[in-house]
Chain A
Amino acid sequence: MGARAIVAAEQAAYQYGGCGTSIGPFDFEAGPGEFHLLAGPSGCGKSTLARLLSGVIPHLYRGQLHGRVTIDGRPTEAVPLWELSARVGLVSQNPAAQLLTSTVGDEIAFGLENSGMAADEIEARSAYALDCFGLVDVIDRDPRTLSGGEQQKLLLSALTARAPEVLILDEPLSMLDASAAVQVVDHLRHLARTGTAIVAFDHRSDCYSGVDGLSTKALAGMPASTSTLPELPQNVPPFRFKVEGLGVRLGACRVLEDVNIELAGGQVVTIVGANGSGKTTLLRALAGLQAYKGRVLTSTSKPPRLGLCFQNPDRQIFNATVREEILFGLAHHDEDFYHLVLDLLGLTPYEYTPPLLLSEGEKKRLGLAIVLLRPGLGGVCLDEPTLGQDMQQRRVLGRIIRRLAAAGYLCVTATHDLEWARQWSDRIVRLDRGEICDCAPAPAPSTATARTMLLPPSLVNPCTDGH
Chain B
Amino acid sequence: MHGRSLSRLYATRPTSCAVVPDSFLRRADPRTKLALSILASLAVMLPLPRLVVFVSAYAVLVLAAGLVRQVGEQVWRIRLLLLVLFALDWVFIGAGFAVLITLRLVLLVTSFTLLFATTTPEEMRQAIERLGVPPRFAFVFATTYRSLELVRSEWLGIIEAQRARGITLQETREWSWTAWRARLAWAVSLIVPAVVLVAQRAWSITEAAAVRGFDSPRRLPARSLRLARVDHVLLAATAGLFAGLYIWQ
Contact = CB atoms under 8 A, between A and B. Distances in A.
A60 B213 contact: no
A119 B146 contact: no
A329 B188 contact: no
Interface string A82-94: 1101100110101
Nearest to A318: B192
Nearest to A374: B165
Interface in B208-249: 208-223
B178 to A, nearest CB: 15
Contacts of A54: 211
Interface stretch (A67-75, A107-115, A174-182, A343-351): A107-115
Given A85-B211, A100-B208, A310-B164, 11 more contacts: A81-B210, A81-B215, A92-B208, A100-B205, A102-B146, A113-B222, A114-B214, A142-B16, A162-B213, A289-B164, A314-B200
A374 B164 CA distance: 10
Nearest to B208: A98
A319 to B, nearest CB: 9
A60 B193 contact: no
Given A113-B219, A315-B158, A374 B214 contact: no
Interface secondary structure of B, over-half rule: helix
B96 to A, nearest CB: 49
Nearest to B205: A100
Interface centre among A60, A102, A110 (most CB of B within 10 A): A102
B48 interface: no
Contacts of A453: none
B188 A114 contact: no
A158 interface: yes
Contact of B165 (A97, A100, A316): A316
A85 B207 CA distance: 11
Contacts of A117: 220
A54 to B, nearest CB: 6
A18 interface: no
Interface in B152-171: 154, 157-158, 160-167
Contacts of A110: 209, 212
Interface residues of A, number: 56
A102 B16 CA distance: 8
Contacts of A99: 208
- A-B pairs, 3 with minimum CB distance: A116-B218, A318-B192, A114-B213
Interface residues of B, number: 46
B105 interface: no
A98 B217 CA distance: 22
A122 interface: yes
B193 A89 contact: no
A97 to B, nearest CB: 4
Contact of B197 (A307, A314, A374): A314
Contacts of A116: 216, 218-220
A318 B213 contact: no
14 contacts: A82-B210, A82-B217, A85-B213, A97-B204, A100-B143, A102-B122, A110-B209, A112-B222, A119-B220, A314-B196, A315-B197, A316-B158, A317-B196, A374-B166
A86 B213 contact: yes
Interface in A89-140: 89-90, 92, 94, 97-102, 106, 109-119, 122-123
A217 interface: no
Nearest to B17: A102
B201 interface: yes
B209 to A, nearest CB: 6
A161 B50 CA distance: 57
A109 B212 CA distance: 10
